Structures are given as C-alpha cells and as structure tokens.
Structure 1
C-alpha cells in the first residue's frame, strides 16, 4: 500500500453565511445555512428532498520496559508486508489469553511488569497508580503466575478466555433490527458495533435528510486513503459557541465511535426539541480518527491500537500511536521512540496523516472552539491537561469543577462513577496527546474521557453496553453544554 499524498484545498466560507466557518470546499447540496434561517425539516418533507437529489489508564497506560523495549504487537503472518491485503491476513486468535488486574502498590512491581513485557509474556491494557491490567499470553500463564507469586504481588483474573469474550462482544442483529435498518435509511443501530462504511453512510444520510442543520465534510485522508469525515450540526446563528468532539483515535476502543455517533444521532434527529444549550452550539464530530486501524480491528486483530502506516524502524513495524503524535510537548514522557511499541510516538510531531489532518483543520478554520472532547476507553475517567508531565494549567480549578459536573450528570443518569483529575496526576504522564495539544491552542474546556468499563470487559465491552454508556455520557455532554453557553 503506497502512501497517499493528496493536496486538500482549504477554502473559507464567507463569514456572512457562517458563524463558524468550516474548511474544505463543500459538495453540491451541502451549503451552509444562512444565519437564523433554520427550521427542523419534517420527515414527510425529507422524502421529497432526497428524491430530487442524486445519491451522492489512563490515557492508555502502556508498559514500556527500560531502554524502551516495549512488547511488539501480536504476530500476524506477513502483516508487515505491504503487498498483503488486509483481507488476506489471518485473523489473530486470542484463545487462552487472559486479562489480569495486578496490584502495583509495591514499588518493585513496575520493574517486574516491565521485565515480563520485554520478554513478550504480557502486554499492557491500562491502569492507574494502584493497579495495572495486563494481557497474559496463553503460553506464559505459568511463568507469569510464578513470577508474581515469587514477588508476592497480588492479582486476580478478570477475563478467563479473551477470545471467548471477543466472540461474544458483537453478536449479529436480530430480524427485527435488520428490518428497522431498512426502514430507517441507514444501518446504524447502537445495538451493534458497526464498520466504517456504516458510520460514514449514516453521516451522509443525516446530511441529506437534515440539510439545513447537518453538513459532512472530509478534512483529510488516512494513510490507506480512507476519508476523515467530520459532521457539523448547526443552526447557523451568529454568536453560537463551538465544540469539537472526536473518537476512535485508538483502533481497538470500539465503544468510542459508537458513543460519538449516538451523540450525533440524538442531536440531529431531535434538534427542533433540543434545549437552547444544545442549539446555541455548533457541534463538530469526527467519530473515527483512525479509520485504517478501526477497520483492521474488525478484520484482523481485534486488539490493534495504532494507525496502519507501514515501514517504521529497522524491523519495518507498522503504525504509530496517534495519541502520542500531536505536536505539543511531543516525544516526552510516556511516549516511546521504539517503532514496534504500542505507544510509538511517530517519527516527528504530526508525522501521521490522521493527526496532521486534525491539526490542519484547526489551523485553517476561523472557528473559535470553546471545548474539545476526545473519547477513549476504558477506565471511567474524566481527564484534563496536562498529560505530558505532572503539571497543571492555570485554569485547572475550572477544569476540575466542570469535570465534576459532568461526572455528576453521568452518575445521576446511569450510575457509573467517573474519576476526575489531570491526566498526569490521576494516571501517568503521556506526552503528545491530542488533549494537551488542544489546550495549547487556547481551547478552554479540554477533556479526554475514558469510557466504561473499569476492567471486567476492558476493550471488548459487549455491544449491549453501547446504549447505557452513551446515554449517561450524553447527560454529561449536556452538562458541559450548559457551562459552555455561559462563557463570554
């Protein structure tokens, strides 16, 4: 697969039409609304419109052994050969692999974990200051057990057979849901984790169905040439605030794009009855920042994390961690220079087309954003900058208090407890994150939100959890919207 280089022409839309100009030339039929001209379209009018148009823990805490010899990703036959198509790559089988929660209260435990990781007996899933979740490979169960017992390190098994959990995670839809898909006009259900084609098709459907408030534009392309689609919901009023939300930076965190698309659906389908707090904000959504990696987790390796850029390092490893590739304090703590590491920072700031596309969008838009939210999993954390080191921004008290409001709204709606704090303080330092970069641009309310759960399922959260997790986080988003609307 060759690197796709394509010049994207960035055009400002005149401020006489937009209150928050977007970038990229709009496609026919996707013009932005004139200010104060919008009424929610009724469904009976939509059919006429469409008929006349053509179809057109942490910030994940990854273990890095001393001298940055982090574990390589699981081996896939010929996976690093760019001539091999993803469809031809054998799906990785995690039968017999287990996930353990290991106490890190003893100071010597981290060194032991690093040693086991460097020997490729384990891989890290995430953790915090008191415990770390590790994936233990089937042939390493006895050795890892013995090593932990020898050091008297406490642990317990959270997932007995990882492949079984993967098999049960995303069951097919029943006949009723399939019929509902056909009637609805798109395939998204929030009862299943959907492929990229379904997500992008859903976004395009909304743009056609609600053209007066919804627009979809491509801000760039991934390494493999997949579109990075941003959907905007706006009534075009002058003076609207603006909020940017993304998901799917890490490929294996399927709950993230599912939750972000749930937000999109709620706002677009119910805009006419939404509160003023929602209507007075221009909402920008990028549900899948890492489309190549996301598709790869569906086809080949369910636990793939990075993007799919090929050819890093002497061993020609694949991929960089996009959440270590943003330009603010790039290359610092918690980011690896070892290309095979799951937290490889890339060859330089914004070396990856996906992170660069986001950077270019913010660089070229005249929109002044009041908040930036990036959704990840897992752990149930509301994290704010800084992540690059154990430091705090000047307005950290504001970030803490608003974070607590969001957490309270989540708890009242669904009962889930989200911890609030700075990324580095509550978890571990991790430089090159998108939240630090967004904060460095002057965006007031910047958060990384680690969604459910706290480890029972981890990255393989069953699809039955999508709607409960999304509903409670929608309540949290509404709490943020009320704060954003009070900003000067």
Structure 2
C-alpha cells in the first residue's frame, strides 16, 4: 500500500495542496469505490491525507462507499492506483464542470426574470439570504427579529434570526446550516423551514407560541461566498494559514473545542479537514459559540444541517462510545425520520456520528451536547446519496425542504410538549 501512495506523491511532484479546482472542473469526475477489506480502507485514508484528490465522502469502513473527485488530468492516475490495490470503481459524475455550469445558468436565469425573491427554485448567495432575513423582520415584526452577532474574517455580517410569538423565556431550538461552504442544499433547506413557519404562522400558532427558533442559515459566510465566485467545491473557511503554499481556511466542523483534533482531523493547512491551529481559531465559529452559550439555558435542541448522504446523527463524533441518553436521542431521531420519509419516500440512516459514518472530533454537535449541555443535538446530512453529491439540482430543493420540515416539526413538537411551561 505504501508504494502506491508514494507513487501518487512522486507523479504529482510532491505538492501538498490540491490544484485550484475551480479552473479544473471541466472534465473532472467523481468516482465511487467500495472497499472490501481493511487494507483498502487503510489505503484510501492514506490517499486522502495526500490532499491530491477531493474526497466527497470519507473512508470509514469495509462496505462503505467512498466518493472521490479528480480533475481530468488526474483521472488516469487515480484509476491506476485504485486498480493496483484491487478497488473497483464506477463513475458517479462524468463531468463535474457541466453540473456547475448548469447551476450557474439556472441562477443567472432566475435573476434575469425579475426582482429577487426567495422561491426555492434556485440557490441564493450569502447577501441574498441575509437580505431576506431582514425582509422577514420588516414584514413579520410580530414573529421575527434579526440581530447582528459578529463578522466573518472577510468582514461579512453574521445574523441571527429569532422566530417565535411572544416572550423569550421559552425552550429554544437552535438551527444552523452552511458550515461547509459547498453544501448549498443546507442553507436552502434551513431557509425553507423558516419560510414555512413564518408564512403559515397561523397553522403553527401553538408551536410558535411555546417554542422559539433561533436560526443562522449560513455560519461559514466567506467560504459560502467563495463557492459562488471562485470555487464551487470549496469546503473550509477563508482565513489565512501558515502554509508556505498559500493554503487557506480551516474545516469549521473540526474547529470546536470539545475533544478538538483528537481524531478524524488534520494538522495540515492544505487539508480539507484541517482542524485549525487551535480550538475556535475561526471567528465565525466563535460567533456561533457565543450565541449558543448566551442562550444555553433555554436551548433544548441543536440542529445543524449538512449534505450529503441522508443521515440523521447524534453524538458522539469523537468516539464510538454512546452518550448515556443515546436511547432518548435515537427515539426522537426515529420519529423524525419516519415523518420525513413519509413525504417522498426518502430514506435516512440513523445513529451516532462515529458509528454511522466516521470518527471526527471538533464538531459543532458534539460541542453543543458535551460543553453547552444541549440534550437533543443532531447533525442532519441531507440529500442525496451520491448521484449528484454536493451539486444537488435546483429541482430537488423544494422536495428536500418539504420532507425535512416534517422531520423538524416532530422535533419541535416534542420540545414543546417536553419543555414548555
């Protein structure tokens, strides 16, 4: 196995950083492999650490699919190295650049047709989403208030939406999305959920009267903005690092202080899973942390939205051990997923993060439960299971929102029934 990894390093000139994928997307492909033995899992983990290929899903166990994106130039090399270790592969996406171009055309077409309004038939950039939050506060002052809660590294204003009817001393569900920049369906789904609650507030009068929703649709503003302007598949923040190669950013979901950098993260600034130089090195995560700490006494559930893989997960991510109250977490997750699946038949896997996907310390859900004391802390990985991956088409935004909203309602109703005075 070692000789293969070394071969990759030699052929690619011992570089540590991947090439800028924004300029190499045409002809890029996503290949899926399914390791059948432990040695193949080990090989894939070693290959990931080389930072030459973009691992859309991480190697975790025998039988678990691993999706790897490679530029057109690197396709023959990747296929050769996979074949050398007996890994069969199939092409999930034959031309990443074409899908990116289609999304760009759809966005431009939507904006050319008239004044902007979020209708969930397109993906929206950071400024558009923040403007929409302000519009909600103006048009629904009895329901919505918006607070500025800090700035990103590149000085983008981060906002918190407070949604509810009357009174602050109620149980809170804290919702965020967009911690990984390229996962566009996450902010789209979070805003869809907000819109359903706001525009159908009479239907959800009892829920909104007894539960507050505190929402930050995009908590990695700079990275998210960068995916619209420079690199559609950027994952991290955009802060500078000490890399001599100019690599930027940390993985914001490896940057939280609870068991930081113990497992499933990297010390290399050029890695997509770089944990940062220290816990909470990223100002954006400090801003979110401060809001959760500020309201921790009332926050009863934390929901953080990601993509992709269709998973509803609870802590822990740093260990395969389960929290003492795991059965409570699992029972609520099962009920939420049953409601979700009933809408369009979409299936989700349920379990702890480590036992469902892989061990990764420094995540926001672990921190919310382990340090902030939020009992019902969940990471929800949205559609799909790899057909499009991070490039989920616009026509799946509304169906994803519809089904996810039903799952969130189950959580919200449970929080109301359990914690409301």
Normalised to the residue count of structure 1, the TM-score between the two structures is 0.78
3-state DSSP of counterpart to 2:162: strand
Contact 1:259 1:466 in 2 (8 A): yes
CA distance in 2, matches of 1:399, 1:248: 23
Contact 2:175 2:214 in 1 (8 A): yes
Query: Paired residue for 1:192?
Result: 122
Normalised to the residue count of structure 2, the TM-score between the two structures is 0.90
Query: Per-residue CA shift, 1:448-477, capped at 9, x if unaligned?
Result: 000000000000111111000010000000
Deviation at 1:234, TM superposition (A): 1.2
Find 2:395's aligned residue among 464, 479, 482. 464
CA distance in 2, matches of 1:460, 1:193: 11
3-state DSSP of counterpart to 1:315: coil
Query: Per-residue CA shift, 1:157-176, capped at 9, x if unaligned?
Result: 10011111111235436989
Q: Is the alpha carbon distance of 1:173 and 1:306 closer, same or farther for their aligned partners in structure 2, counting shifts above 3 Å?
A: closer
Q: Is the alpha carbon distance of 1:133 and 1:480 closer, same or farther for their aligned partners in structure 2, counting shifts above 3 Å?
A: same
Answer yes or no: is 1:391 the counterpart of 2:328: no
How many residue pairs get aligned? The number is 405
Deviation at 1:205, TM superposition (A): 0.4
Query: Paired residue for 1:379?
Result: 309
Contact 2:314 2:378 in 1 (8 A): yes
Deviation at 1:331, TM superposition (A): 1.4
Query: Paired residue for 2:384?
Result: 453
Q: Is the alpha carbon distance of 1:176 and 1:316 closer, same or farther for their aligned partners in structure 2, counting shifts above 3 Å?
A: closer
Find 2:346's aligned residue among 416, 435, 448. 416
CA distance in 2, matches of 1:419, 1:189: 29
Q: CA RMSD in A?
A: 2.3
Answer yes or no: is 1:161 the counterpart of 2:105: no
Query: Paired residue for 2:333?
Result: 403
Q: Equivalent residues in 2 for 1:33-432 (5 A)?
A: 74-76=18-20, 91-117=22-48, 121-127=52-58, 129=61, 130-172=64-106, 182=115, 187-237=117-167, 240-274=170-204, 276-365=206-295, 367-432=297-362
Structure with bigger helix share is 2
Query: Per-residue CA shift, 1:149-198, capped at 9, x if unaligned?
Result: 2322122110011111111235436989866x64xxx5212000011111
- Bigger-Rg structure (1/2): 1
Deviation at 1:275, TM superposition (A): 5.2
3-state DSSP of counterpart to 2:56: strand
Deviation at 1:116, TM superposition (A): 3.9
Q: Is the alpha carbon distance of 1:257 and 1:461 closer, same or farther for their aligned partners in structure 2, counting shifts above 3 Å?
A: same
Contact 1:105 1:131 in 2 (8 A): no
Query: Per-residue CA shift, 1:288-329, capped at 9, x if unaligned?
Result: 000100010000001100000013334342000110011111
Structure 2 residue ranges without an equivalent (≥5):
none
CA distance in 2, matches of 1:101, 1:261: 31
Contact 1:190 1:466 in 2 (8 A): yes
Structure 1 residue ranges without an equivalent (≥5):
1-64, 77-89
Contact 1:177 1:189 in 2 (8 A): no
Q: Is the alpha carbon distance of 1:199 and 1:313 closer, same or farther for their aligned partners in structure 2, counting shifts above 3 Å?
A: same
CA distance in 2, matches of 1:114, 1:310: 26
Q: Which has the higher contact order (CA 8 A, sep 6+)?
A: 1
Deviation at 1:286, TM superposition (A): 0.1
CA distance in 2, matches of 1:303, 1:124: 11
Deviation at 1:120, TM superposition (A): 5.2
CA distance in 2, matches of 1:256, 1:73: 27
Contact 1:259 1:469 in 2 (8 A): yes
Contact 1:71 1:118 in 2 (8 A): no
Query: Per-residue CA shift, 1:38-83, capped at 9, x if unaligned?
Result: xxxxxxxxxxxxxxxxxxxxxxxxxxx99xx99855434xxxxxxx
CA distance in 2, matches of 1:301, 1:278: 39
Deviation at 1:137, TM superposition (A): 2.3
CA distance in 1, matches of 2:110, 2:292: 42
Q: Which moved more, 1:344-353 or 1:265-274?
A: 265-274
3-state DSSP of counterpart to 1:218: strand
Deviation at 1:121, TM superposition (A): 4.6
Query: Paired residue for 1:53?
Result: none
Q: Is the alpha carbon distance of 1:323 and 1:239 closer, same or farther for their aligned partners in structure 2, counting shifts above 3 Å?
A: same
Deviation at 1:278, TM superposition (A): 4.2
Q: Which moved more, 1:406-415 or 1:267-276?
A: 267-276
Contact 2:18 2:52 in 1 (8 A): no
